[in-house]
Amino acid sequence: MKLLLVAEYREGKILDTYGELLGFAQKLNAESSMVLVGAADSLPSFDGKLYLADVATHGESNADVHKQVVLDVVSRENPDMVVLCHSSYGWDLAPRIAYQLKAAQVSEVVDIQDGKLVVPVCNAKLRRTLVPGSALTVATIQSGAFAAPELAGAAPRVESIEVSTDGSYTFLGYEEATEGGVDLTKADIIVSAGRGVGKADNVGLVIDLAKALGGEYAASRPVVDSEWVAHERQVGTTGQTVAPKLYIACGISGAIQHLAGMKKSDFIVAINTDRDAPIAEEADALVIADLLQFVPILTEKIQSL
Ligand SMILES: Cc1cc2nc3c(=O)[nH]c(=O)nc-3n(C[C@H](O)[C@H](O)[C@H](O)COP(=O)(O)OP(=O)(O)OC[C@H]3O[C@@H](n4cnc5c(N)ncnc54)[C@H](O)[C@@H]3O)c2cc1C
């Protein structure tokens, strides 16, 4: 199998998520080439062919033009699969490429089993394996689902390419998070509330524990969707990616989209009534308890130290 990996470049450098694309290729045992709209001073550690379209000419974020770049490389490489990250860049680009190539598009691949793509369904409660019906597939891979292989030292064979830069997009720039927004990535300790807190009033228990520990509080997506906690505190693929020294997950089941945002934490404590919740597999310590009883007692003990 032959893959074309689409790397991303932002604000002057290649994003290290290209490593996850390589991890995906490695798991499929596939041959791969890569394409990047970027610059020669920020290249991937990749032992293969890299098609490089100059960012100064093709723009940093322009789906119309970048689509043409990828299509140009597809015509040269004739891959079986075009692979992008499941990121805002990938969401924007993948369907355009798939439509143009009349290829199947498979979104948010989380695993490979027996050479087949595994994707989440039913809000990630279930998974299914897919065999695309077309000869060419365009796939996006879930953040954190495929570990990057050892990359140091490898250098790509670079081939410069150029396509027409006509497009209907004008890229205006990136917007910084609003002032006063919380940067959870800087917190050493995060206590996070999941749907297991039950109702908005109970989020206070999690906030109290975070304060007692001198940390920040965060939440899983359902808690944010219910407007119990602001979106800026959401952890996961559609929230922030954090790696604190201590992450305490209170009433969080451990769906892949949540794990992707916190599994690089140094030490994970999960408080859950269900000993079989998926988070138990990631947790360094699992407390099987009702958080509504356990968390206030823990907070009180810490406050009394
Ligand atoms: C495209 C997409 C993007 C997504 N992005 C994100 C994201 O960025 N972040 C994110 O978090 N999710 C995200 N999700 C949602 C994700 O799939 C899960 O649905 C979500 O993470 C589940 O949240 P939860 O663990 O809080 O709730 P649940 O899965 O409902 O788990 C609740 C847990 O609480 C436990 N519990 C219940 N009562 C108690 C109690 N009294 N004491 C202790 N434990 C208790 C239960 O045993 C259970 O394990 C995304 C989904 C999709 C499809």
Note the pLDDT tens digit of each residue in 121-177.
Answer: 876 667 899 988 889 999 999 877 888 898 778 899 999 999 998 877 888 888 776
Tell me the C-alpha distance between 71 and 68, whole Å: 5
What pLDDT band is residue 179 in, cutting at 50, 70 and 90?
low
287 CA to centre of ligand 1 in angstroms: 17
In the chain, % of residues over pLDDT 90: 76
CATH architecture for residues 184-303: 3-Layer(aba) Sandwich (3.40)
The atom of ligand 1 lying closest to the CA of 252 is 25
- pLDDT computed for residue 237 by the predictor: 84
Which has more confidence, 80 or 256? Answer: 80
What pLDDT band is residue 83 in, cutting at 50, 70 and 90?
very high
> Is ipTM > 0.95 here?
yes
* pLDDT value at 266 more than 80: yes
In the chain, DSSP assigns E strands to 2-6, 9-10, 13-14, 31-38, 49-54, 81-85, 104-109, 111-113, 116-121, 126-130, 137-141, 157-161, 189-193, 216-219, 246-250, 267-272, 285-288
Which has more confidence, 110 or 253? Answer: 253
Q: Which residues pair with 82 in a beta bridge?
A: 4, 138
Backbone angles phi, psi at 120, to 5 degrees: -80, 150
Ligand 1 neighbourhood includes 282 CB (under 6 angstroms): no
62 CA to centre of ligand 1 in angstroms: 34
* pLDDT value at 214 more than 90: yes
Ligand 1 neighbourhood includes 274 CB (under 6 angstroms): yes
User: CATH code for 2-161?
Assistant: 3.40.50.620
The atom of ligand 1 lying closest to the CA of 198 is 38
- pLDDT computed for residue 187 by the predictor: 93
* pLDDT value at 55 more than 90: yes
- pLDDT computed for residue 124 by the predictor: 65
The atom of ligand 1 lying closest to the CA of 294 is 42
Ligand 1 neighbourhood includes 291 CB (under 6 angstroms): yes
90-100 pLDDT tens trace: 999 999 999 99
256 CA to centre of ligand 1 in angstroms: 9
- The tokens describing 213, both together, are 């520990």
Q: Do domains 2-161 and 184-303 have the same CATH topology?
A: yes
What pLDDT band is residue 180 in, cutting at 50, 70 and 90?
low
126 in helix, strand or coil?
A: strand
What are the C-alpha distances in Å from 276 to residues 172, 252, 273? 47, 12, 9
The residues spanned by each domain of the chain are 2-161, 184-303
Q: Which of 72, 38, 281 is nearest to 158 (CA)?
A: 38
- The tokens describing 48, both together, are 């293969």
Which has more confidence, 178 or 205? Answer: 205
254 CA to centre of ligand 1 in angstroms: 6
Q: What's the mean per-residue pLDDT of the chain?
A: 93
The atom of ligand 1 lying closest to the CA of 291 is 42
Between helices 291-303 and 203-212, what is the axis angle to 10°? 30
Q: Which residues pair with 288 in a beta bridge?
A: 272
